[in-house]
Structure 1
């Protein structure tokens, strides 16, 4: 019997750069309350998808006024990312605590993979 294995997160099928801007309600919370809100709303979603989707946070408000953060999502498949976003949209993090300014999906080294070539070394 063969079993279907889930691809590893070290080689995601898709990477999504979600550019977000903090909104006044989020900034009005104390630091403790911000972490409490993350634990309440975001952590359970991340736990449900931990084997299929990874999130990394980047603060950029030091260098730009358009967005304050970049959330980098790496997923083993598009469907896992889509399901996670559907859940995230049902939380106050989507358009209440943060405005989602832009979503930029990409595939790492697709330029090489699409032509059966090795990616440039980095």
Structure 2
């Protein structure tokens, strides 16, 4: 019996910096902009994408936020980026400083090894 190999999930660490236009919005306006301008574009263009958001402006002047996107595969990730680029998120509300994209434990899959990770109890 053959075991079907699936493509590993893609994780993207999107390092962004807020723009003066975003900061000029009130908090309710920011929430509305995100929920009416950004989320619908993502939902209409792709599936299999999850996100988490981290504030870093307390510790960095270059990067104010890190958005972690997990996509089921590379195609879902590409659709996500295409969707974001068509919204005010991209280069209007946020400057995308850097994209760091990878797959978790890629070395282990490449070499047929068990992943090495730390576990705190």
State whether structure 2 residue 65 is matched by structure 1 residue 69: yes
Deviation of residue 81 (structure 1)? 0.8
CA RMSD of aligned residues (A): 1.8
SS at match of 1:58: strand
SS at match of 1:66: coil
Q: Deviations over 1:39-94 (max 9, x none)?
A: 11122134346741111111001111110000101011101110111111011110
Any unmatched runs of 5+ in structure 1?
1-6
Any unmatched runs of 5+ in structure 2?
1-5
Q: Is the 8 A contact 1:12 1:75 kept in 2?
A: no
Q: Give runs of aligned pairs for residues 1-122 of structure 1, distance below 5 A.
A: 13-48=9-44, 51-122=47-118
Whole-Å Cα distance in 1 between the matches of residues 8 and 22 of structure 2? 30
Task: Kindly tell me the number of residue pairs found equivalent between the two proteins.
Answer: 113
* Structure 1: 4+ residue segments shifted above 6 A: none
